[in-house]
Amino acid sequence: MGIATTKIISFKSNIAKGFTLIELVLVIMLLGIMAVGIAGFIKLTAQTYVNVAQRDELIASARFAVERLNREIRNAVPNSVRVKNQAGFNCIEFVPILASTTYTEIAVAPEASSNTLTVIPFLGEDGNDYQCGAGCQDVVIVYPTNSDDVYSDSTDNAGKLFGLQTVVQTSASQWTLTLDHAADVNGDRFESDSPTERLYVAKSPVSYCTFSNALYRFDNYTIDDGNYIFPPTQPDLMAENLAAFDGANSSFTINEATLQRNAQVQLKLHFIRDDEDIVFNNDVHLVNIP
């Protein structure tokens, strides 16, 4: 009897493996969700960087303007700082000191008038001996106790401010200053002596004004008793993005001197740019005294 045998034949499957449509759709959805999340993170990071950069730029611009204003006010002739306001404009004006010295002899009422005075030798802004050539337009000021003493007519033959004509180095320890008032044969007389015998040399005022959402600096105009709201010279732009002056909250305030302290100037500059809002509130101590 024969034995039956069974032959098993193996067939290799030729079906190709891959993704189904559902799997592909799920992968695309997941990648889309991840892309949205990553894009949002990148956008947030980029916007944060832009905001920080804008804030730093605004602060740097404001700090430069405030610091320069601080330094110039500290070098102002005593009692020359005054504030001027008008609708849409807010200004602070002062007269910078070019040089300072101690006088030894000046004509003070009721003494005889004179066009000359003697002083201790002193240095100019450049660190060398002070010089005043023809047409220098400098002025000398003695014991200014208020702004009217500074912003006065330098051509009068009485007061605390006179135009300067020449400086002659008569000796190593004494100079002679001639006042620019030759038309008056009677000469000049100062209103009063300085308790410290201090004499200041100045030239032209400086004004900082806020208008049109910016801070501007004016210089190179003559000292005048007219209360310039808007000085008659071309200004330099110092800072932008200032809040508009509404005529109520002044950017500049003067706290007059008392028996306990010197005068102070309060600076309050409000900067706005996009969503950034910065207020600089700074007090400047006026160290110079008459």
Q: What is the pLDDT along the chain (290 residues), one digit of tens a residue?
A: 455 555 555 555 555 566 687 877 887 888 888 877 787 777 777 777 777 777 788 788 888 888 999 999 999 999 999 998 877 788 899 999 999 999 999 988 788 888 889 999 999 888 899 988 666 789 999 999 988 899 887 767 678 998 898 899 889 899 999 887 644 445 668 888 999 999 999 988 999 998 888 999 999 888 876 666 677 788 999 998 888 766 567 789 898 888 778 888 999 888 888 777 888 888 888 888 88
Q: Per residue, what are the HEC states of the chain?
A: CCCCCCCCCCCCCCCCCCCCHHHHHHHHHHHHHHHHHHHHHHHHHHHHHHHHHHHHHHHHHHHHHHHHHHHHHHCECCCCCEEEEECCEEEEEECEEEEEEEEEECCECCCCCECEEEECCCECCCCCECCCCCCCCCEEEECCCCHHHHCCCCCCCEECEEEEEEEECCCCCCEEEEECCCCCCCCEEECCCCCCCEEEEECCCEEEEEECCEEEEECCCCCCCCCCCCCCCCCEEEEECECCCCCCCCCEEEECCCCCCCCEEEEEEEEEECCEEEEEEEEEECCCCC
Cα–Cα dist 72/78, whole Å: 12
- Whole-model pTM? 0.78
Domain boundaries, the chain: 55-94+204-285, 97-202
Cα–Cα dist 211/203, whole Å: 26
**How much is the pLDDT for 14?**
55
Whether 214 contacts 79, CB under 8 Å: no
Residue 92 tokens read as 């602070």
167-174, Cβ contacts within 8 angstroms, sequence gap of 24 or more: 167/130, 167/131, 167/132, 169/121, 169/129, 170/118, 172/121, 173/120, 173/121, 174/104, 174/118, 174/119, 174/120, 174/121
Cα–Cα dist 61/240, whole Å: 8
- Cα 180–chain centre separation: 33
**How much is the pLDDT for 215?**
92
**How much is the pLDDT for 243?**
83
Residue 62 tokens read as 């404001």
**How much is the pLDDT for 202?**
93
Cα–Cα dist 231/129, whole Å: 31
**How much is the pLDDT for 226?**
66
Strand partners, 145: none
Whether 115 contacts 187, CB under 8 Å: yes
Strand partners, 209: 91, 216
**How much is the pLDDT for 184?**
47
Angle at 261 between CA 255 and CA 263, to 5 degrees: 30
Radius of gyration of the chain (CA): 37
The dihedral formed by the CA atoms of 176, 164, 144 and 89, expressed in degrees to the nearest 10: -160
